[in-house]
């Protein structure tokens, strides 16, 4: 089966072509530089950029996959959650393509797709789900922090989420306090490598609480108080490195500890991670160490599939159709606030 997929939920315009769980093309046009001047994603600008870029991104994806329109078996798109008008552009484009080709359309939940992105890719590329194992999946991005139990393909249970800021938002907001540009996550990651993670004892939010929810807004506040009390001008590079290492350690330790607790409670032998923050080297290393200590398998999304991409939308749509789930209505609307908990249980 060949699926063409569209993803435009936030600030990445992406179109992919997948066949039998393998990615034939995954073109991503990031708007990150456009939004950097504003310190965050500006919805109106994102909408305009998606409109401008989508035709080119789609053409490049179809050319890269060397695919004639007649070879397409289904068309998929992200329905939510995300920015309403941004979602609308990818969804309507996909529905239009499905209508024109007379092929089924599949509407996909963005976070359900993230659950499967760690299974995509590999060298040589293998079918996405050949190696699937029951797992606990950590989704960490600028908009979301979710821990999910995935006992079987197409089944999941949300264990916890953030009560306030997402992990990426915490990186970005603390980075702003430290004078770093947007998005600050990659820069904190880079500076942290030369810093001392024990230099400052920032709080490990909710670590003492039972359950799997997260809260990161207190960490940002405690960094602000620290900077307000600190005498002198701008921090030196060495101070900045220690601050970044200490902030990152607080975020990473919280994420890793809760993820490993969830894996034990759910009796799974595998942990996965995806979303922009899962690019963080400190997080990847800490997860690897913790999983090794407990004898758990770890699947981290490849860099290309950590951040938003249409390949994960396509492989999930293909899986759903292959497992007999019905296509979605051609007039299904965007669902900007769609919670993963509200995703209807699959037909058996």
Q: Which of 277, 287, 298, 311 binds ligand KG4 (CB under 6 A)?
A: 277
185 forms part of the interface with ligand KG4 (CB under 6 A): yes
- Cα separation of 269 and 292, whole Å? 11
Taking CB within 5 to 8 Å according to partner kind, which of ligand KG4, Zn ion, none is near residue 189? ligand KG4
Choose between 141 and 259: whose C-beta lies nearer to ligand KG4: 141
Cβ neighbors of 112 (< 8 A, separation 6 or more) are 156, 316, 340, 343
283 to 322, contacts with ligand KG4 by CB under 6 A? Answer: 307-308
Assess 165 for contact with ligand KG4 (CB under 6 A): no
Q: Is 7 in the site for ligand KG4 (CB under 6 A)?
A: no
Residue 171 binds: one of Zn ion, ligand KG4, none (C-beta under 5 to 8 A by kind): ligand KG4
DSSP H helices, the chain, are 32-36, 43-64, 84-101, 110-116, 167-177, 185-192, 217-229, 237-266, 281-294, 303-306, 311-322
Binding status of residue 172 toward ligand KG4 by CB under 6 A: yes
* Residue 308 makes contact with Zn ion by CB under 5 A: yes
Minimum distance from residue 304 beta carbon to Zn ion (Å): 13
For residue 76, the tally of other CB atoms under 10 A from its CB is 33
Which one, 169 or 327, has the nearer CB to ligand KG4?
169
300 strand-pairing partners: 273
Measured distance CA(141)–CA(312) in Å, rounded: 15
Say if CB 138 and CB 273 are below 8 A apart. Answer: yes
Q: Which is nearer to ligand KG4, 163 or 265 (CB)?
A: 163
* Chain positions contacting ligand KG4, by CB under 6 A: 10, 141-143, 168, 171-172, 183-186, 189, 275-277, 279-280, 307-308
């Amino acid at each position: 089966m060949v699926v063409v997929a569209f993803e435009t939920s936030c600030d990445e315009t992406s179109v992919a072509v997948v066949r039998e769980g393998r990615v034939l093309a995954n073109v991503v046009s990031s708007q990150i530089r456009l939004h950097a001047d504003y310190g965050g994603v500006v919805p109106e600008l994102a909408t305009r950029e998606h409109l401008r870029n989508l035709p080119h991104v789609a053409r490049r994806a179809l050319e890269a996959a060397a695919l004639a329109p007649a070879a397409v078996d289904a068309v998929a798109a992200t329905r939510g959650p995300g920015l309403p008008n941004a979602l609308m552009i990818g969804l309507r484009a996909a529905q239009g393509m499905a209508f024109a080709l007379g092929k089924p359309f599949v509407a996909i939940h963005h976070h359900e797709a993230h659950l499967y992105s760690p299974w995509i890719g590999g060298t040589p590329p293998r079918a996405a789900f050949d190696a699937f194992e029951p797992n606990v999946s950590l989704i960490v991005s600028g908009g979301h922090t979710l821990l999910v139990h995935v006992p079987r393909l197409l089944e999941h249970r949300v264990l916890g989420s953030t009560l306030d800021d997402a992990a990426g938002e915490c990186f970005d907001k603390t980075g702003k306090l430290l004078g770093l540009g947007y998005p600050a996550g990659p820069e904190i990651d880079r500076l942290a490598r030369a810093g001392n993670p024990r230099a400052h004892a920032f709080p490990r939010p909710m670590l003492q609480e039972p359950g799997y929810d997260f809260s990161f807004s207190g960490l940002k506040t405690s960094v602000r108080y620290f900077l307000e009390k600190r005498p002198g001008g701008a921090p030196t590079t060495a101070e900045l490195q220690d601050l970044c290492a200490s902030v990152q350690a607080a975020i990473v330790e919280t994420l890793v500890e809760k993820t490993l607790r969830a894996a034990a409670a759910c009796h799974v032998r595998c942990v996965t991670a995806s979303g922009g923050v899962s690019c963080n080297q400190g997080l990847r290393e800490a997860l690897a160490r913790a999983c090794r200590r407990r004898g758990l398998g770890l699947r981290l999304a490849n860099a290309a599939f950590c951040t938003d991409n249409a390949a994960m939308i396509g492989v999930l749509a293909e899986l759903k159709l292959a497992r007999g789930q019905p296509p979605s209505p051609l007039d299904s609307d965007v669902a900007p606030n769609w919670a993963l908990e509200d995703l209807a249980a699959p037909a058996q």
